[in-house]
Amino acid sequence: MKTFPMFLQMAGRRVTVVGGGEQAAQKVRLLLKTEAQIIVHADDLDPELEGLRDEGKITQASAVVTQADFTDRALVFIATGCPGADAASHAVAKAAGAVVNVVDQPDLCDAITPSIVDRDPVVVAIGTEGTAPVLARQIKTKIEQQLEPRLGDLAALAGRLRDLAANRLGPRDRRDLWRWVFNGPVRNAHARGAERDAAKQIKTAIETGEFSREQGGSVALVGAGPGAKDLITLRGVQRLQEADIIFYDRLVDPDILELARRDAERVYVGKAPGNHSWPQDKISNILVSAAKQGKRVVRLKCGDPGIFARGLEEAEALEAAGIAFEIVPGVTAATAACAAQNRFLTERQEIDAVIMTTGRTATNDGPPEWLSELRPGTRVCLYMGVHSAVELQEHLLKSQYVDQIQIEVVAEAQTDRQKTVDCGVRDLMTALAENEITGTAILSVVLRKSAAAAANPPLRLIDTAS
């Protein structure tokens, strides 16, 4: 980030605006939402600013400014409409050590005004570092539609009741309380205008300790998706934001962890091929232990927790210990690999069977079982298939369809390191070597119906009677 987002304390502080026209009025409108003292330096004010001055909401001062006019200011906005006058005022303000925003001159700005969604005291600020203000406004519009108009009043009510909750409830119960308030019937009641009923429900819940909450610890087995952080599901993000502790895998994008609560503990339990520094039974045991301590636990796995992710072993350990758990599915690598090539797992009239398997089995004796299922219209997605590519090629070379099979390889799908390769069976090892693909990849064996039919055309009866 070139700019750092931060909310400034404005109550009782002074803000200087230089200029008396429409540009200055736009900044004053924003500042009037705060509790700052607004001083406008201009000899002539437009009618809107004149009205605000007459109402006592702003103070008018001389257009001639000195360093003293910028000393001890929370912010300075310069908006005379004249580039030369703006630059001159900017120089004086900077000499006074002020934080300055010069309208339409980003090179002279210490601070940039964001697009704002106002549900006071809930405020959402959207910035693009001055590069795309139209995009910022589009995002603002979407957020405006998502946040109900009365949300700020509910947040203010929660703020007034925080001390009461703190005196009666422990930290975990307080989090569960506010989660209940903002995720359920209380928020719905408040949104439809039943403010008194909502307030009564919150107060009763604080007094009695009776509200919808999880008793003891719990575990969510969450699929992080195949790579890019925006491929995790909304439910997955919600569980991350609720977690007290997160156990994550080697292939999980570190950016995804930024979606979690800042104070959530993060524990790396990654396992590299051939180096299981965290054996599975140790991971299962630590999930049980953390949940028994009353923590809300997330086990964050790359892809989908139910597809070659050892999720079953962890679920069985949790179930045996009587720990409540939830499975949050994720986008699996096979789907992501096809999408990376603008393709699909199935294709109408071409591929109607999909097999997901691994490059290596527990025994690795003889040809893989799926080879007998390889018939026209089949896609076989091999997870961790690169390390067994030599054996795979040997088996496929014996297939009657060897020249009709297409191999699709996608390494590190949906990341900025992504590589894609298409080749035939005979060229597989050469293609992997030339593209330096040695690690994480999905290798798909594809036999389309049209390719097989072209190689083995159906018999045609010939009429010889004529």
Crossing angle for the helix pair 171-183 and 195-208, to the nearest 10 degrees = 160
Q: What is the percent of the chain with per-residue pLDDT over 70, rounded to a whole number?
A: 94
Average pLDDT over residues 281-301: 92
Q: What is the pLDDT of residue 216?
A: 66
pLDDT in tens, 305-324: 999 988 999 999 999 999 98
pLDDT in tens, 39-78: 999 999 999 999 999 999 999 999 999 999 999 999 999 9
CA distance 342 to 116: 37
Q: What is the pLDDT of residue 466?
A: 41
Q: Is the per-residue pLDDT at 95 higher than 90?
A: yes
Helix extents (H) in 278-401: 280-292, 311-320, 333-340, 389-396
SS3 272: strand
Average pLDDT over residues 1-11: 89
Residue pointed to by tokens 């703006």: 86
CA distance 92 to 71: 10
Q: Is the per-residue pLDDT at 129 higher than 90?
A: no
Q: Contact at 8 Å (CB) between 357 and 380?
A: yes
Tell me the pLDDT of the chain averaged across its residues: 89
Q: What is the pLDDT of residue 366?
A: 63
SS3 54: helix
The pairs formed by 352-356 with CB atoms below 8 angstroms and a separation of 24 or more are 352/377, 353/377, 353/378, 353/379, 354/378, 354/379, 354/380, 354/381, 355/379, 355/380, 355/381, 356/307, 356/308, 356/332, 356/381, 356/383
E strands of 249-364, at which residues? 265-268, 296-301, 324-328, 353-358
Active-site hit among 86, 244, 249, 253: 249
Average pLDDT over residues 349-363: 82
Active-site hit among 271, 422, 427, 449: 271
Q: Is the per-residue pLDDT at 396 higher than 50?
A: yes
- Dihedral of CA atoms 86, 91, 95, 101 in degrees, nearest 10, equals 40
DSSP 116-163: EEEETTEEEEE--TTS-HHHHHHHHHHHHHHS-TTHHHHHHHHHHHHH
Angle at 307 between CA 305 and CA 309, to 5 degrees: 55
CA distance 319 to 406: 43
Whole-prediction pTM = 0.63
SS3 237: helix
pLDDT in tens, 258-277: 889 888 899 998 765 555 56
Q: What is the pLDDT of residue 191?
A: 87
Q: Is the per-residue pLDDT at 206 higher than 80?
A: yes
Cα-to-chain-centroid distance, residue 96 = 41
- Asked if 249 is an active-site residue, the reply is yes
**182 backbone dihedrals φ, ψ, rounded to 5°:** -90, -10
Give the pLDDT band of residue 452 (cuts 50, 70, 90). Answer: confident
- Asked if 365 is an active-site residue, the reply is no
